[in-house]
Amino acid sequence: MKTLWLFGNQLSTSLKGLSQINQTTDQVLLIEAKSRAVWKDYHKKKLVLIFSAMRHFARELRALGYQVDYREVDSFQEGWDAHVKDYQPAEVILHLPTDQSMRQLLRKWKARQEEQGRHVTTLEASLFITKEADWEVLLPGNKAWKLDNVYRHLRKKFSILMDGNQPIGGKWSYDSENRKPPKKGLQFVEPLLFLPDEQTRAVIAKVDQTFPMNPGTTQNFTLPVTRKQAQEAAEHFIQMRLATFGDYQDAMIEGDPYMSHSLISSALNIGLLDPLEMIHQAEQAYHDGLAPLAAVEGFIRQILGWREYVRGVYLLKMPEYKDVNFLKHKRPLPRLYWDGETKMNCLHQTVTEVIEYGYSHHIQRLMVLGNFANLAQINPQDVSEWFNTMYTDAHDWVVLPNVLGMALYADGGLMSTKPYVSSGQYINKMSNYCKGCYFNVKEKTGERACPFNSLYWDYLMVHEDVLASNPRMKMMYRLLEKKSAEEKAELKNQARLHLERLEQGQL
Ligand code: SF4
């Protein structure tokens, strides 16, 4: 008999492996391993999501007629050994895991199986739009890598928002129209949330008992855990909330973590949703007049462009990519990333939301959490580990390029042409955080000066040797040049005071 072994982020009935087994005589193996070596100290909601989605998927497969061996054990090895003892499979089929560390373990495991005379077939998982082999062509080693080239290629290839060979509306990107600051009284249609069923409640009890010290909480778990729920949530977003997604996708509002964001990434990244299906549905919403082109294009670019692109970078640049630290930042991750205890309101609000929901939207990730980590010169690997731990949609392939490349410029510009750093002005423009903050966003120095301000100028001074020649940083360095030696010294001193307080847990 054959065994098809599926992992917790391969929960799709369209996987090729399912068509290669006999429903009556072969087994689908799912191993719910609780070992800390497997899961590190993940946010409790992330563990609930993966375990609950696995259990629901097993039930769905059984309803479709498959034989499912579901193992609740300590480690993958323990689950595998027990499966072999019970079923003695002559052949095993697996889909390649997305993360490199899992692939390395799999290579060793595969060699051991073949030594024992068991045939192992590995297939590519169809959880992405682009085939792995295509990335060598899409991101050639002899040219600078650009999201735009990849995105345009995929738009044409799949004929998404196209009018013949040209983009509908005449532009490939409507990003510049999608940056409106929040206005007073702005409200959005609520997302579709799901109360835990009996199965999920059992998983919540297990996670609370087994991982009591992990960050986050299992309370108020509302994520979709089945394909049906995920499709309902996506459809609700496309019908009711996509229209307002575009305008305010970069805005941040205190007390409203979801705003008009889709919240589908956690389901998409474990296989409950199909990326191309989402794209076609969003495109149809544009043709049906449900959402404007700028909103639809912005949403599609996140999935067809950015999601695919970061996957390509990960495939081509690992394993060395995980260790990049171009700016040589060394400060350990401060405690406030774990408890949200800080007088800086933007960080306090964002971290508190991440602790509660295992989620924050992309601008909070980039321009609050990433921006601060970069300006405070925090070790990039500490930061990427934190993102990997805390977010329900986080997996190695998505975290490393987004955090190390995009947010922290730790790859020296492979993914972005300049560091995404800003003073407090940007946060003040795009959010209402500064109004309720202990610090004054308009001040650069002094007891209550916004830390982002002096840290920003200090960052430019510290990295002048590698950043001043960057064409996109020239304007900022011209402004720095105009500052007197005295002003620069004051900014440096203020940044030092903030960093000392940060280390003492008093910022
Ligand atoms: Fe954040 Fe500075 Fe605004 Fe406070 S004043 S919320 S620290 S940007």
Nearest to 450 by CA among 472, 431, 424: 424
CA 462, distance to chain mean position in Å, is 29
Give the global pTM.
0.95
Beta strands 91-95; 166-167: pairing state: unpaired
* 3-state secondary structure at position 398: helix
Q: Could you say which DSSP state residue 120 is in? A: E
Q: How far is the CA of 446 from the centre of ligand 1 (A)?
A: 14
Question: Does the beta carbon of 424 sit less than 6 angstroms from any atom of ligand 1?
Answer: yes
pLDDT of 142:
72
SS (H, E, C) 312-339: HHHHHHCCHHHHCCCCCCCECCCCHHHH
Is it the case that residue 369 has pLDDT exceeding 70?
yes
Q: Is residue 272 within 8 Å of residue 12, measured between CB atoms? A: yes
Strands of 164-215 (E only): list them: 166-167
| CATH 3.40.50.920 is the classification of domain 2-123 | no
Closest residue to atom 5 of ligand 1, CA basis: 441
Nearest to 216 by CA among 49, 77, 63, 84: 49
Specify the DSSP element, H or E, that contains 73: strand 67-73
Question: Does the beta carbon of 450 sit less than 6 angstroms from any atom of ligand 1?
Answer: yes
Q: How far is the CA of 432 from the centre of ligand 1 (A)?
A: 10
Quick one: fold of 336-503? DNA Cyclobutane Dipyrimidine Photolyase, subunit A; domain 3 (1.10.579)
Q: Rounded to 5 degrees, what angle do the CA atoms 282, 265, 93 make?
A: 105
pLDDT of 293:
95
Q: Is residue 298 within 8 Å of residue 245, measured between CB atoms? A: yes
What is the rounded CA–CA span in Å between residue 378 and residue 72?
A: 38
What is the rounded CA–CA span in Å between residue 397 and residue 98?
A: 7
Backbone phi and psi for residue 404, each to the nearest 5 degrees, phi listed first: -70, -40
Q: Taking all residues of the chain, what is their mean pLDDT, rounded to a whole number?
A: 94
Q: How far is the CA of 228 from the centre of ligand 1 (A)?
A: 41
Question: Does the beta carbon of 434 sit less than 6 angstroms from any atom of ligand 1?
Answer: yes
Quick one: fold of 133-195+215-317? 1.25.40
pLDDT of 319:
93
Is it the case that residue 402 has pLDDT exceeding 80?
yes
pLDDT of 144:
80
For ligand 1, mutation pick of 352, 450, 453, 502 (most atoms within 8 Å of CB): 450
What is the rounded CA–CA span in Å between residue 112 and residue 122?
A: 15
Given phi > 0 = left and psi -120 to 50 = alpha, else beta, which region is 5?
A: beta
What is the rounded CA–CA span in Å between residue 20 and residue 66?
A: 12
Q: What are the start and end residues of each CATH 1.25.40.80 domain in the chain?
A: 133-195+215-317
Q: Which atom of ligand 1 is nearest to the CA of 344?
A: 7
Q: How far is the CA of 46 from the centre of ligand 1 (A)?
A: 29
Q: What are the start and end residues of each CATH 1.10.579.10 domain in the chain?
A: 336-503
* 3-state secondary structure at position 283: helix
Q: What are the start and end residues of each CATH 3.40.50.620 domain in the chain?
A: 2-123
Longest dimension (CA), the chain: 79
Closest residue to atom 2 of ligand 1, CA basis: 450
Specify the DSSP element, H or E, that contains 392: none
pLDDT of 247:
85
Per-residue model confidence as pLDDT tens digits over 425-448: 999 999 999 999 999 999 999 999
What is the rounded CA–CA span in Å between residue 414 and residue 365?
A: 19
Per-residue model confidence as pLDDT tens digits over 62-114: 999 999 999 999 999 999 999 999 999 999 999 999 999 889 999 999 999 99
Question: Does the beta carbon of 454 sit less than 6 angstroms from any atom of ligand 1?
Answer: no
| Beta-carbon contacts of residue 70 (< 8 Å; ≥ 6 apart) | 30, 32, 54, 55, 58
Specify the DSSP element, H or E, that contains 284: helix 275-287
Per-residue model confidence as pLDDT tens digits over 452-507: 999 999 999 999 999 999 999 999 999 999 999 999 999 999 999 999 999 999 99
What is the rounded CA–CA span in Å between residue 244 and residue 187?
A: 10
Question: Does the beta carbon of 355 sit less than 6 angstroms from any atom of ligand 1?
Answer: no
Q: Is residue 97 within 8 Å of residue 311, measured between CB atoms? A: no
Closest residue to atom 8 of ligand 1, CA basis: 424
What is the rounded CA–CA span in Å between residue 66 and residue 500?
A: 59
Q: Is residue 272 within 8 Å of residue 194, measured between CB atoms? A: no
Q: Which atom of ligand 1 is nearest to the CA of 424?
A: 8
Q: Is residue 401 within 8 Å of residue 313, measured between CB atoms? A: yes
Q: How far is the CA of 4 from the centre of ligand 1 (A)?
A: 51
Nearest to 106 by CA among 96, 93, 115, 114: 96
Alpha helices in 365-418 (DSSP H): 371-375, 380-390, 396-399
Per-residue model confidence as pLDDT tens digits over 270-293: 999 999 999 999 999 999 999 999
Question: Does the beta carbon of 367 sit less than 6 angstroms from any atom of ligand 1?
Answer: no
For ligand 1, mutation pick of 348, 427, 432, 440 (most atoms within 8 Å of CB): 427
Is it the case that residue 37 has pLDDT exceeding 80?
no
Residue-by-residue DSSP string for 78-112: HHHHHHHHHH--SEEEEEPPSSHHHHHHHHHHHHH
CA distances from 449 to 80, 442, 444, 498 (A): 57, 7, 5, 10
DSSP-assigned beta bridge partners for residue 242: none
Amino acid 42 reads Y
Nearest to 167 by CA among 261, 282, 283: 283
DSSP-assigned beta bridge partners for residue 472: none
Closest residue to atom 3 of ligand 1, CA basis: 434
Q: Is residue 19 within 8 Å of residue 97, measured between CB atoms? A: no
Q: How far is the CA of 196 from the centre of ligand 1 (A)?
A: 36
Per-residue model confidence as pLDDT tens digits over 225-260: 999 999 999 999 999 999 998 888 889 999 999 988
Token pair listed for 321: 């990519």
What is the rounded CA–CA span in Å between residue 462 and residue 467?
A: 9
Dihedral over Cα of 405, 408, 409, 410: its sign = negative
* 319 preceded by a cis bond (ω within 30 of 0): yes
